[in-house]
Amino acid sequence: MKTQYWSVDKYVDNIRNYPQISQAASLLKQNEVIAFPTETVYGLGGNAESDEAVQKIFEAKGRPSDNPLIIHIAEIKQLNQFAENIPDHAKILMETFWPGPLTLVLNKRAGFLSEKATAGLSTVAVRMPDHPVALAVIKESGLPIAAPSANRSGKPSPTTAKHVADDLHGRIAGIVDGGPTGVGVESTVLDCTEPVPVILRPGGITKEQIEKVIGPVKIDPALDDAGQAPKSPGMKYRHYAPNAPLYLVDGSREYIQKLITENEAKGLKAGVLTTEESKGLYNAHLVLSCGNRSNLDTVASSLYDTLRKFNESDVDIIFSEMFPEEGVGQAIMNRLLKAAGHRVLS
């Protein structure tokens, strides 16, 4: 398959008038799939009404079909076509956080969306991305767009168009390059069908931010239970993994260095995922910083790019520091645990 490329400056006025946007939207109307930037990661979008388009998403990603997709919209009025019985707290959250990195799970209105997009569930996960290029493409297409992250399934999510091309060139119809994304980790997913809303996936909007607006919410204890049908993307399978095995280390820098030394004595090239504060304290084959521990937003925005840099190296094993599970740290640790297949050394 020929993959078309378009470059779009997200700061231009009248972005919908750009021919690149029209061309990308035209492919969506033809049930092709394209990648485009959002404020979190690059998404792989297809017409959420079309079984054909949704199947192409799964095939391009190599993604299991029982994993539901998030539906992206550009205007609230689109929501009424495929969601019903929307609770008041969900409406308040839309007013507060949309457009933005918050996905809401709502009751699905039957007969509109592809059953493949929602994995046959009675619910639908939906969000409005906070990125001018994403909004322009969705508006121009006139469609609800099903869009998981634009990477091969299981690999680190893409935060640049190059990441998308590395994984999906020749597998999809087009890539809209709108520059690097901002937040760096995917949206928070909140189930609004329960009396007390439940966080199914931590992400760019924190539990604390949500509770300031609507009061208490729960964290789903079954977040990583592979035995149940997932209501949210990212709940069931190993995700975000670099090529070399990754281990999280719950211990001191001295303990991490001991692990490095032991493995290098066996002839393995060890990598370390750390922060600027500790970067100079390790003696290893490759030491990469993913931001500042004093500002976890920088870690979130660089995490996937750092994991992909390990793939460009010749490391055999990777050890990662751990992070406090507060604020966006909860999303960082969720992604790292999945990337490591829940392997923690302590």
What's the token pair of residue 127? 């969000």
Whole-angstrom Cα distance, residue 246 to residue 154? 13
- Please tell me whether 240 is known to bind a ligand: yes
- Please tell me whether 40 is known to bind a ligand: yes
- Please tell me whether 16 is known to bind a ligand: no
Whole-angstrom Cα distance, residue 133 to residue 146? 16
φ, ψ dihedrals at 138, nearest 5°: -65, -45
Task: Please name the residue ranges forming H helices in 127-266.
Answer: 132-141, 161-168, 207-214, 253-265
Positive/negative CA dihedral, 309, 343, 221, 58? positive
Beta-sheet strands, E only, within 92-173: 102-108, 123-127, 145-146
Dihedral angle at the C-alpha atoms of 3, 8, 62, 199, nearest 10 degrees? -170
Whole-angstrom Cα distance, residue 133 to residue 15? 7
- Please tell me whether 147 is known to bind a ligand: yes
Whole-angstrom Cα distance, residue 284 to residue 291? 19
- Please tell me whether 80 is known to bind a ligand: no
Q: Which of 194, 198, 187 is nearest to 233 (CA)?
A: 187
- Please tell me whether 141 is known to bind a ligand: no
Q: Which of 137, 142, 135, 69 is nearest to 108 (CA)?
A: 69
- Please tell me whether 127 is known to bind a ligand: yes
Q: Which of 300, 301, 278, 304 is nearest to 289 (CA)?
A: 278
- Please tell me whether 149 is known to bind a ligand: yes
Q: Which residues line the annotated binding site?
A: 40, 63, 67, 72, 123, 127, 147, 149, 157, 187, 201, 240
Q: Which residues line the annotated binding site for L-threonine?
A: 40, 72, 127, 147, 187
Q: Which residues line the annotated binding site for ATP?
A: 63, 67, 123, 149, 157, 201, 240
